[in-house]
Amino acid sequence: MTLLEKMRSPGFWTNVFKIALPFFLFVTVISLFMNSWRDIFAGDFATVNEVNFSEGKWQRFFALKIIISYFYALYIAFKRTK
């Protein structure tokens, strides 16, 4: 079965979404901890916001994670769909 045939099968995109959403949340949390773990545990969320999200940084922060999650979910759903 080719990729296009699998994409047309019922439930393929539901499976992609079911895989992408938890993976996106996982990658986001891990990334926040890697970037600002000291500030998070100190409760200094103003610094976390400034480092990761202020002045348009949120667009880069989330865009990369959305793209990675989408392609990972597409790959896994393609492997699992029969």
Query: By residue range, what is the domain housing residue 31?
Result: 3-80
pTM to 2 decimal places: 0.84
pLDDT recorded at residue 36: 93
Check residue 60 and give left, alpha or beta (phi > 0: left; psi -120 to 50: alpha): alpha
**Tally of domains in the chain:** 1
* Residue numbers of the chain with a pLDDT score lower than 50: none
